[in-house]
A and B are shown apart, each in its own frame.
Chain A
Amino acid sequence: MNECVLVVDDDREIVKAIGLLLEKEGYRVLKAYDGLEALELAAEQPVRLIIMDVMMPRLDGLSAVMKIRERKNIPIIVLSAKSEETDKILGLSMGADDYVAKPFSPQELAARVKSHLRRYTMLGDIHAQGREDEIRNGRLCYRPSERTLYADGEAVRLTATETKIVELLMRNAGRVFPAEEIYRRVWEEEAFSAENTVMVHIRRIREKIELNPKKPEYLKVVWGIGYKMEKMQDYR
């Protein structure tokens, strides 16, 4: 498919490494080493996705993102050595679609790139269709009629119990469910040692839907209260 990905970082080795990794995944990689270069390349080439470091000479990453956003609607992943919540929110509000903290795991980055590209290219039409009966939340989409969960447009293989949990949480995205309630509503019997059982299932679902199961974005534990499906905000 040879989609074109632009990687921008002032650290050449990192750019090279990311480039190599993405090329192995089958993408065409363009490289830039500062913000201005990135702007030029993004204007000239048919870039489908940009990976952009924040701290760069000449023009910093966030300013570049804002500039690019003026003309293009392509997904932008921001890389930063700052892992604080405020930096993340700042990056996303500037127009980035995703935020990955350094040091990142290469697989995760690759998975994110893939996810964003799929959503951008393939699901664009799903967006347009806007089916009535489906529940959307970020990269996830649940279709009750099919009893199927789609992640980036791809059906996720879930067991019957997992599907029930996902349906409950997707229908009430943002709401926190105590383990006992999940147990009661999914297993339809009184909860006994619900915490462990629910946690095991949550973990399995995470493996299937999260880009980095160790740092879940969607299926979250609210410590001391329960579990919830994070309601994803669209920053665009």
Chain B
Amino acid sequence: MATKWKKCRIIVSFAAFFLGMTLLLTNFFTMLGLLAQADLQAGTDYQKTEEFAGFISGRLETLVSAAAGGEDWHGSLDSYGTAYEAADVYVDSWSAGDFQVADLFRLILNALGITSRRSYTVSTTETATPYDMPADGEGGQSYRDFYMEELAADRNVRFAVLYQGELLYTNLDGLTAQTVEASGIPDFAALLPEGEYNFSLCYNGNGDGKTEIVKDGQEVDVYGDGTYGPDSRWRVPGYENFQAEGKARDVVVFLAAAKEPMLEIDNYGMGTEQRGGTLFYMRAELYQQRQQLRETAARLGAALLLLLLAFWLRASLREARQRIGGWFKAVWVEIKALLFWCLPVLWLVFAFLTKRIWYWNLSGAGLAVYFWLFYFGLLDRKYNHGRQKSFLRSIRNSLRTRDLKRPLQKRLVGRQWLVFAPGLLLFLLLCGFLLIYGRWLYWNDALAPVLAMFCFAVLLLIGGLAYMKKNRRMAEDIGALADRIAAVREGRLSGSLKLPEDADLKEAAENLNEISQGMEKALKERTRSERMKVELIANVSHDLKTPLTSIVSYIELLKQEAGLPEHVRDYIRILEGKAARLRDMVQDVFEVSKAASGQLPVKIEKLDFAKLLRQTLADMSVQIEQSGFAFRAELPDGPVEIWADGQRLYRVFQNLLQNALQYSLPGSRIYLALSAEGGRAQAVVKNTSAAELLPGTDFTERFVRGDESRTDGGSGLGLSIARSFTEACGGELKVKTDADLFTVTVTFPVEGA
């Protein structure tokens, strides 16, 4: 349960982190963009947006132009930004959700208050015959009138234009030229339907040349400090630096905008025609923008909540990171490098080159993709650094292993292709080139260098071939030499390596031959001297045994002599003891010399080591009891099967135990333990030495005894025999001394382990 919960936490923490981060990255800049462009002051009222101000200002300009007979009316139905001179104010096409660098700059500039002020004037000059300019196919009507009719059809914007007190254009219901003539400038607002139009603008060029704006019955402060600048909302005449001049002074314009603009769609047989779209869409867009802002804000909030959750579960998150790092371990490092590092960088470069870096990469999803790729790349680096699984490396390794398996000659010959192949490739390429393009080449220009290269390639090829041939022989010689070295190492000393007289390795081969001959000779000598040594010892021991037989026999006769005085009997006993010791020593010398020369016959069979030790102890029980030493044997109950010669191994332990009995400190204990671990059976005999053990003495050397004075009863061969016999049986005997503790370890491989 606990582990399940833990696993659950890990998954939840990472999922929260992943989702949160992704949401944050995809929405953060969108949010910034929205914030930068949204008219937050406007609220739900589209009439408070900059766009509306611009639209109304533009419409006023259009109407003033139309009344005063301005220039730019050549059939254009759009009147934006034409009539006022040098009024270059940004008109940006905002597209929701996209944040652009320029916006950022403008935001910053605005924030710093750096704005440029210019002087603006309105001057409209009369065109030649604007009134009479014919529209296409509709004789008698000018473009202006046609355009004005179009404008009048939009019921969202009501207007009236007076020029020199004469009504020119209007779509106000009930306003006629007669009314105007009768009353001068009429009260336009009264003519509007009740409640539908809450915005009105009145420009009176005749009077003060200023524009009055009334919204929801309240007069709006149009001019601010009275100077027109980039931050001025209304682009209408009446500022100090933006005055109506010329004919524009004779114009009176009234404009009213609907509270809730409607879209009128007329359906003809040939298609549809929309009216009133400008304001309708302005309002719709405002709503849409606000909606988008709300959604983005909600997403960002969710992202923050998720990140908070991930932070709360950060311990589990760490583990999740570790696990993900672990998963990446199985992926080839090349794939990871491509995915995490190369692709993003390449894509960035591509985006940079195509100059769409912001559009593609640093907004929304692109940013998130980059982030996660880099994040996983870093995770991989952190957890798998130095332990990467490489596809190329494994290929290289397998190639190398395969290469090593082949004999030396083949390997060397194979390597020559590295030299030969480039030449061959160049040659083939040039041949192909000449075959295909040869007939378009002219002798004096392109053909000359190509032919030169061709010659070079041929030379390279010939050189490569010659080198390969020479080297192939060399490789064969090296291989033969290597084989011969291996043969010598295996002990096949007879025979010699014959290389041709002109071979590079001739001398090396001869040296090797001499070495192997020398070794062979030395080995023969050694074998002979070993054999002679063994023969000598056998002869010596034989020659010793014959007189010894007489000694033993006559001592026996002496013993049987009756009536000898007691002290003579004592002498005889001493003689008997020493003769017996001499006999044992002769036998020991004989055996140890045979064992040392490797001529000891052994009969290896499977036996139970534990049983052998028990038998040895039982066999020596009388001796052990008489010695007065306490014996501590620790032998396993079960069998410990090894391969050895039982008789010899018995002698080993007989010697070891006798050794222990003979040299132990009186009253001390002697330990015998057998253990079988890790495929090895280990018997250990431990005793405390009575004499001081000189460190650095090899007790298994022949005639070495702990007691240098050699007055004790041993031959000094016990341990030497024990070691020789153990080794003859395939075991290992080691002596270790630690202060007075004398430890002998006999080790054998366990059968079947």
Contacts and interface: CB of A to CB of B under 8 A. Distances in A.
Contacts of B551: 103
A224 B644 contact: yes
A184 to B, nearest CB: 15
Contact of A224 (B541, B552, B609, B621): B609
A233 B181 CA distance: 165
Interface string A167-196: 000000000001100000000000000011
A224 B611 contact: yes
A17 B550 contact: yes
A104 B615 contact: no
A198 B650 CA distance: 17
Nearest to B614: A195
Interface residues of A, number: 32
Contact of B557 (A21, A199, A222): A21
A55 to B, nearest CB: 8
Contacts of B583: 103
Interface stretch (A78-86, A126-134, A151-159): A78-86
A222 B647 CA distance: 7
Interface string B604-621: 010111011011111101
A105 interface: yes
A199 B549 contact: no
Contact of A195 (B542, B560, B615): B615
B152 interface: no
Contacts of A179: 611, 614-615
A20 B557 contact: yes
A24 B560 contact: yes
A107 to B, nearest CB: 7
Nearest to B608: A224
Contact of B549 (A83, A103, A178): A103
Contacts of A21: 553, 556-557, 560
A147 interface: no
Given A81-B542, A103-B552, A17 B557 contact: yes
Contacts of B556: 17, 21, 105-107
Given A21-B553, A21-B556, A105-B552, A224 B607 contact: yes
Interface in B579-603: 579, 583, 587, 590, 601
Interface in A193-213: 195-196, 198-200
A192 to B, nearest CB: 11
B542 A199 contact: no
A146 B546 CA distance: 45
B644 A11 contact: no
B554 to A, nearest CB: 6
Interface in A204-236: 221-226
B229 interface: no
A87 to B, nearest CB: 11
Interface string B387-419: 000000000000000000000000000000000
Contacts of A226: 611
Interface string A1-23: 00000000001011001101100
A81 B609 CA distance: 34
Contacts, number: 101
Contacts of B601: 85
Nearest to B555: A106
Nearest to A110: B556
B733 interface: no
Nearest to A12: B550
Interface in B541-584: 541-542, 545-546, 548-554, 556-557, 560, 579, 583
B553 A18 contact: yes
Interface in A90-114: 102-107
A24 B551 CA distance: 18
Given A107-B556, A195-B611, A195-B615, A222 B545 contact: no
Contacts of B579: 103
B553 A199 contact: no
A13 B552 contact: no
A223 B587 contact: no
Contacts of A107: 556
A104 B616 CA distance: 25
B549 A14 contact: yes
B550 A223 contact: no
Contacts of B650: 221, 223-224
Contacts of A225: 605, 607-608, 611, 646
B649 interface: yes
B215 to A, nearest CB: 119
A20 B561 CA distance: 11
A195 B618 contact: yes
Contact of B621 (A20, A81, A199): A199
A223 B549 contact: no
Contacts of B548: 102-103
Given A85-B601, A199-B615, A225-B607, 19 more contacts: A11-B546, A17-B557, A21-B553, A21-B560, A81-B545, A82-B542, A83-B590, A103-B549, A106-B552, A195-B614, A195-B617, A196-B614, A199-B619, A221-B615, A221-B619, A221-B650, A224-B609, A224-B644, A224-B646
11 contacts: A13-B553, A14-B550, A21-B560, A24-B560, A81-B541, A81-B546, A106-B557, A223-B616, A223-B646, A223-B650, A224-B608
Interface of A: 11, 13-14, 17-18, 20-21, 24, 55, 81-83, 85, 102-107, 178-179, 195-196, 198-200, 221-226
Interface of B: 538, 541-542, 545-546, 548-554, 556-557, 560, 579, 583, 587, 590, 601, 605, 607-609, 611-612, 614-619, 621, 644, 646-647, 649-650
